[in-house]
C-alpha cells in the first residue's frame, strides 16, 4: 500500500516538530497516569503555538453519560440557539492519553464552521480500561445523544462521528457498531490520520523513520496497553480495516499525512470503503506529520481544516 514518500516537511511544520522533539523524553518506564499528566502539560505548552482558540460558543456544558460499569463525561458545544445537527468527536492519544480540554479549540471551530452541536466524548482510558471499553463508551455516547436529543435540542436524523488518530479509529468503529447493531443512522464519518489496522502490518509503519512525532515504538506501547490480547488485534472493533464487510457505512472524509506511520492505515481504509461503494473523500497532505490536523495556525493545515469542516457542514445540512 505504501508509495514512495518524501519526508521533507513544510518549514513551519519542521519548526514545530523540532520544538516538540526537544520537549519529548523517554517515558517507557513512566506509569500511565503520570504520562497523561505530562502529556497534557506538554500539549498545553504547544497548543497556543499551533492552534487558535476557536470562536466563542453560545453555550458549553459538561454532561454525564451512563455507560457499562460507570459514567463518562461529554462536553457539548453549541454555536447558536435552535435545533441543529450533531457531531460526536473523539480525541486522539493512543487510547491511553489525551483530554477533552486539549481539543476545546478544535471542537469550537468545528461547531461554528459546520453549524452543528459538537459532543466531545471523554471515553475511559487504557490500560485501566482496555479494549473494548473505549469503543463501547463511544457507542453509548452516540445512543445517549440520540436519546437526549429533545433536551439537547439536536436533530438525531443528522448525526455524524469523527476523531483523530485513536479517535479516528473509534469513529470508524462506532460507524461499524451502528450498522451492525441497527443503531442510529449516521450521515458522515470524519477520520483524521486514523489507526485502522492493529496488526501494524501496513508498510508505512516500518518505512517511517523516527523523529516525526509518532514512531513504531510509540504505536507498540499504545497497542500493548489498549489491546492486551493478540487475538483481539484482528477484531473489527479494534481494526476496522479488517472488518469482513464495509458496505452500508456512512460517507467518509479521511486525512492522511506523508510523514506519518499511519498513512497507509488511512489509505487502505479509504480504498476498502470505496470498494464497498461508500463515498469517500481522501486527502493526503505532503510536508505534514501525524498531528498536523492540530497545526491550524499553519496556512496549509488551516486550509485543509476548512475543507474538512465544509464537507461536514454539507453532510449535516444537505440541500433538498
**Cα–Cα distance measured from residue 297 to residue 308, given in angstroms and rounded to the nearest whole number:** 16
Q: What is the DSSP letter of 243?
A: -
The residue behind cell 454532561 is 63
Q: Calculate the alpha carbon distances from 83 to 76, 80, 153, 158, 286 in Å.
A: 14, 9, 5, 11, 38
State the catalytic residue, choosing from 104, 137, 260, 265: 260
Residue 240: Cβ-neighbour burial (10 angstroms; 0-12, 13-18, 19+): buried
Nearest to 301 by CA among 11, 1, 107: 11
Asked if 233 contacts 130 with a C-beta cutoff of 8 angstroms, the reply is no
59 is catalytic: no
Query: Cell for 225?
Result: 496497553
State the catalytic residue, choosing from 149, 165, 239, 292: 165
The residue behind cell 504520562 is 35
Q: Calculate the alpha carbon distances from 176 to 118, 142, 261 in Å.
A: 20, 12, 24
State the catalytic residue, choosing from 192, 290, 292, 304: 290
235 is catalytic: no
215 is catalytic: no
Asked if 206 contacts 219 with a C-beta cutoff of 8 angstroms, the reply is no
Q: Calculate the alpha carbon distances from 75 to 61, 63, 84, 142, 253 in Å.
A: 6, 6, 16, 13, 23
Instruction: Name the residues annotated as catalytic.
Output: 165, 260, 290
Amino acid at each position: 500500500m505504501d508509495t514512495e514518500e518524501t519526508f521533507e516537511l513544510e518549514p513551519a511544520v519542521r519548526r514545530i516538530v523540532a520544538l516538540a522533539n526537544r520537549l519529548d523524553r523517554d517515558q517507557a518506564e513512566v506509569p500511565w497516569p503520570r504520562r497523561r499528566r505530562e502529556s497534557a502539560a506538554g500539549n498545553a505548552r504547544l497548543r497556543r503555538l499551533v492552534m487558535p482558540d476557536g470562536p466563542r460558543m453560545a453555550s458549553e456544558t459538561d454532561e454525564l453519560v451512563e455507560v457499562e460499569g460507570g459514567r463518562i463525561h461529554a462536553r457539548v458545544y453549541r454555536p447558536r440557539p435552535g435545533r441543529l445537527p450533531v457531531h460526536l468527536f473523539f480525541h486522539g492519544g493512543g487510547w491511553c492519553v489525551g483530554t477533552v480540554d486539549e481539543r476545546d479549540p478544535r471542537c469550537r471551530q468545528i461547531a461554528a464552521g459546520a453549524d452543528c452541536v459538537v459532543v466531545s466524548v471523554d471515553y475511559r482510558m487504557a490500560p485501566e480500561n482496555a479494549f473494548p471499553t473505549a469503543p463501547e463508551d463511544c457507542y453509548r455516547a452516540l445512543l445517549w445523544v440520540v436519546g437526549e436529543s429533545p433536551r439537547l435540542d439536536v436533530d438525531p436524523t443528522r448525526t455524524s462521528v469523527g476523531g483523530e488518530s485513536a479517535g479516528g479509529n473509534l469513529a470508524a468503529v462506532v460507524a461499524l457498531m451502528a450498522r451492525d447493531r441497527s443503531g442510529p443512522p449516521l450521515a458522515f464519518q470524519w477520520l483524521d490520520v486514523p489507526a485502522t489496522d492493529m496488526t501494524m502490518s501496513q508498510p508505512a509503519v516500518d518505512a517511517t523513520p523516527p523523529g516525526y512525532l509518532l514512531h513504531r515504538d510509540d504505536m507498540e506501547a499504545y497497542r500493548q496497553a489498549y489491546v492486551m490480547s493478540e487475538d483481539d488485534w484482528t477484531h473489527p472493533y479494534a481494526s476496522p480495516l479488517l472488518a469482513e464487510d464495509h458496505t452500508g457505512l456512512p460517507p467518509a472524509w479521511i486525512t492522511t499525512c506523508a510523514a506519518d506511520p499511519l498513512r497507509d492505515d488511512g489509505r487502505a481504509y479509504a480504498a476498502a470503503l470505496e470498494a464497498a461503494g461508500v463515498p469517500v473523500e481522501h486527502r493526503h497532505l505532503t510536508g505534514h506529520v501525524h498531528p498536523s490536523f492540530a497545526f491550524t495556525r499553519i496556512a496549509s493545515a488551516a486550509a485543509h481544516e476548512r475543507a474538512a469542516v465544509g464537507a461536514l457542514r454539507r453532510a449535516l445540512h444537505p440541500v433538498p
